[in-house]
Structure 1
């Protein structure tokens, strides 16, 4: 499993997702942006993470993430998730290199909301 480099910072997080409010794209193959790591944090229940070799490739890894555990999706990595319990809740925290364009853009959005 990938690790997030030490000079990367959390610049954005999703709401807490449940089977009732999950955006459908998370349940189908998608990838993270260039230079962005996704940290999947399971708060309750169990989630299954599928990683793919490429957009149309075979599954290269399946990871069961239990409550209190995390999984990391590296930049541009094709993946999807599957709920394993009805009470599963998770959040994705996005990380990019400190002072990168994406971090600056999101900090500007945050400060304009204050």
Structure 2
């Protein structure tokens, strides 16, 4: 699957102090969109959520972590676990629909 995806939008580097509030609350990605978190420094907690907002699983990610893609429409949220956090987020889609993503 990873080879079928292409990054169409890369967010800036965020720290604990400027991590967008919307990402710290329950949200999901759009249909056909995968998210890819990258932790550059520090620790980030990732919560897999149910549609009702209950925690289904928790993960702590570091720069050494092999962080999986967040599947389309998967409910989740993140939390900064360290003061030195630096992370970024890329949005991916299948190569065959990149032209559609670039025009919307």
Q: TM-score, normalised by structure 2?
A: 0.88
Cα RMSD for the two superposed structures: 1.7
5+ residue gaps, structure 2, are: none
After TM superposition, give the deviation of residue 57 of structure 1 in Å. Answer: 3.8
**Structure 1: segments with no counterpart, 5+ residues:** 110-114
Shift of the 15–105 alpha-carbon distance from structure 1 to 2, 3 Å rule, reads farther
- Partner residue of 1:60? 56
Instruction: Between the two structures, name the one with larger relative contact order (CA 8 Å, sep ≥ 6).
Output: 2
Superposed counterparts of 1:11-22, under 5 Å = 11-22=8-19
Q: Does structure 1 residue 104 correspond to structure 2 residue 99?
A: yes
TM-score by length of 1: 0.81
1:33 matched to 2:30: yes
Larger Rg belongs to: 1
**What SS does the corresponding residue of 2:22 show, helix, strand or coil?**
helix
Query: Which residue among 42, 47, 52 is the counterpart of 1:50?
Result: 47
State how many pairs are aligned: 103
Q: How many Å separate the matches in 2 of 1:33 and 1:82?
A: 21
What is the match of residue 9 of structure 1?
6
